[in-house]
Amino acid sequence: MNELLKVTNLKTYFYTLAGTVQAVRGIDFSLNKGEALGIVGESGCGKTVTGLSIMRLISFPPGKIVDGRIEFNNTNILNLNEKEITTIRGDKISMIFQDPMSSLNPVLTIGDQMMEPLIVHKNYSTSKAWNRALELLDLVKIKGGSNMLKRYPHEFSGGMRQRVMIAMALSCVPQIIIADEPTTSLDVTVQAQILELLKDIRGKIETSIILITHNLAVVAGLCDRVLVFYAGKIVEEAFIDDLYSSPLHPYTVGLLKAVPRLNISSEEKLKTIPGLPPDLISPPNGCSFHPRCDYAMKICAREEPPFFNFNNSRRTACWLYYGKRDLNS
């Protein structure tokens, strides 16, 4: 196993006036070299906070990583000080943010912003960084060369800005790229371009990707393995083919049935998941999904389900699978 990143029992809380929001409530997962891992879930399930925690971008106050370990190349990055983490952040682990409109600095040219990580992390000279920026533009398929580097973000369309963000994230050839909803604010045809680009880059550069998204279809095209998040916890983990062909957790099942499919026409109504996701200031006892679950049993309200492991590194946190060793039986 080429384990690159290992997250153990991560807990990230936010201290607000209304109470403590338990955004991430103890999650474990690992990421291998060259792998693309998808994190899916709805708003407020803790998927973005997980990404920010790995980047050590949780600001205190109000947020704090209260427990757990994040091991990157066998060092716990939670023990590093601010100076040490800067040698990792943006260099070995980089992030692509959701909103390309607000994550670029409007008063600096595209070139300045693309050169910055190279100058900071790699000690490149300005001219060397400029040349590298040109290469990167080429990699993300923006035509126009140095002319483009002299432009400002407002002169670029949404899709082009997201390409610039991807180029910046790639600039230091990171070992991990965390892409947080990279296509959510883009149009479908542009989304297709960006997804195609990410696939293309995966083939060219040996890098692991963590793709955070609410869109199950986006994950299907790009990832090898998926984690399903609900209310700050992982409820299911599987390789993508397994997850989409035979989802285990009732939440995953519901989520897959709730989206209409373009390739299947049916007159049937969409299946809904009743109710709302829980308030993470006071999450429900037992399984956090039990108030919305069709299969809830008595134990679900009382005790939190542990992970039940199956072959092909599948696991799910649901009492329905208690005592089952093999999924085929």
SS3 track for 200-265: HHHHHCCCEEEEEECCHHHHHHHCCEEEEEECCEEEEEEEHHHHHHCCCCHHHHHHHHHCCCCCCC
Considering beta carbons, is residue 26 or 44 the nearer one to another protein? 44
Q: Given candidates 57, 173, 205, 258, which one binds another protein under the rule CB under 8 A?
A: 258
Q: Which of 262, 244, 78, 92 has the alpha carbon at shortest distance from 169?
A: 92
Q: Which stretch binds another protein (CB under 8 A): 24-32, 120-128, 190-198, 313-321?
A: 190-198
Q: Given candidates 57, 192, 205, 281, which one binds another protein under the rule CB under 8 A?
A: 192
What's the min distance (Å) between Cβ of 207 and another protein? 20
Q: Is 23 in the site for another protein (CB under 8 A)?
A: no
Considering beta carbons, is residue 43 or 127 the nearer one to another protein? 43
Considering beta carbons, is residue 189 or 329 the nearer one to another protein? 189
Q: Is 195 in the site for another protein (CB under 8 A)?
A: yes
Tokens of 272: 């809904």
Q: Which residue has the tokens 């790229």?
A: 177
Q: Assign residue 153 a region (left: φ > 0; alpha: ψ between -120 and 50; beta: otherwise).
A: alpha
Q: Is 288 in the site for another protein (CB under 8 A)?
A: no
Q: Is 193 in the site for another protein (CB under 8 A)?
A: yes
Q: Given candidates 3, 196, 294, 303, which one binds another protein under the rule CB under 8 A?
A: 196
Q: Is 281 in the site for another protein (CB under 8 A)?
A: no
Does residue 93 contact residue 178 with C-beta atoms inside 8 Å?
A: yes
Q: Is 18 in the site for another protein (CB under 8 A)?
A: no
Q: Is 184 in the site for another protein (CB under 8 A)?
A: no
Q: Which of residues 35-54 bind another protein (CB under 8 A)?
A: 42-43
Q: Which of residues 206-235 bind another protein (CB under 8 A)?
A: 214-218, 220-221
Which amino acid, residue 147?
Answer: N
Q: Is 244 in the site for another protein (CB under 8 A)?
A: yes
Q: Assign residue 223 a region (left: φ > 0; alpha: ψ between -120 and 50; beta: otherwise).
A: beta
Q: Is 269 in the site for another protein (CB under 8 A)?
A: yes
Contacts of 36 (CB under 8 A, 6+ apart): 202, 208, 209, 210, 211, 222, 223, 224, 225
Q: Is 291 in the site for another protein (CB under 8 A)?
A: no
Residue 99 sits at the vertex; the CA angle it makes with 107 and 62, to the nearest 5 degrees, is 95
Does residue 170 contact residue 114 with C-beta atoms inside 8 Å?
A: no
Q: Give the footprint of another protein on this chain (CB under 8 A).
A: 42-43, 157-160, 187-193, 195-196, 214-218, 220-221, 240-241, 244-245, 254-256, 258-263, 265, 269-274, 276-277
